[in-house]
């Protein structure tokens, strides 16, 4: 069985849910989750600069992260396990500024999210997971920033009832609120 690429627009402009090419047979499967030419044909200009992998235990929350300068558009895929991935539009002037959307990404569904630059990104791990990030910009620690995961104004439904215990880094526990972000920066360019 073969699953061909499909590109599905979402409620947030530029955020695209991608079904990658997957060929299944008696041995398992072969997956292609990026093809520059095909992505360009579907309106996604994504020049790959860095690839990261994060391994996390069930109950870990990562994010909501972004770079203040030189924002990173990224392709995000859960290559092992299961996560609930959250994207927040932080772009000045965007019609969906301050809106969030969530998607379940897993080894089983093989979905890929194209996260446009200027959006915050985070996830909760529902089952021990390895997540890949294919970034169109380098990571710059001096621009690394974020918004607290449980911000009252964003009111994100993380599905925390699906895990028994939450784990966050000290850095993520100390992130700013959405109101503080708006007051400091007004949004991302």
List C-alpha distances in Å: 73 to 48, 55, 70, 137, 165.
Answer: 9, 20, 9, 7, 30
- Largest separation between any pair of C-alpha atoms in the chain: 56
Which residues are catalytically annotated?
65, 133
- Name every residue whose Cβ is closer than 8 Å to that of residue 37 and which is 6 or more positions away in sequence: none
Query: Cα(148)–Cα(178) distance, rounded to whole angstroms?
Result: 8
**Cβ–Cβ contacts within 10 Å for residue 102, how many?**
17
| CB atoms near residue 45 (< 10 Å) | 9
Are residues 89 and 71 in contact, defined by beta-carbon separation less than 8 angstroms? no
């Amino acid at each position: 069985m073969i699953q061909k690429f499909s590109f599905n627009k979402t409620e947030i402009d530029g955020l695209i849910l991608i079904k990658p090419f997957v060929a299944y047979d008696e041995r398992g499967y072969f997956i292609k989750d990026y093809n520059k030419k095909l992505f360009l044909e579907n309106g996604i200009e994504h020049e790959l600069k860095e690839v990261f992998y994060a391994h996390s235990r069930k109950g870990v929350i990562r994010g909501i992260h972004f770079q203040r300068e030189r924002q990173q558009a990224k392709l995000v895929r859960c290559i092992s396990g299961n996560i609930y991935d959250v994207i927040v539009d932080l772009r000045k002037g965007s019609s969906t500024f301050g809106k969030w959307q969530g998607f379940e990404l897993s080894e089983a569904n093989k979905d890929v999210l194209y996260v446009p630059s200027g959006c915050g990104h985070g996830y909760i791990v529902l089952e021990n997971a390895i997540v890949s990030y294919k970034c169109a910009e380098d990571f710059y620690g001096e621009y690394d920033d974020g918004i607290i995961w449980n911000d009252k104004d964003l009111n994100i439904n993380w599905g925390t009832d699906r895990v028994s215990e939450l784990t966050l880094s000290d850095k993520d526990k100390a992130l700013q609120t959405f109101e503080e972000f708006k007051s400091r920066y007004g949004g991302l360019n």
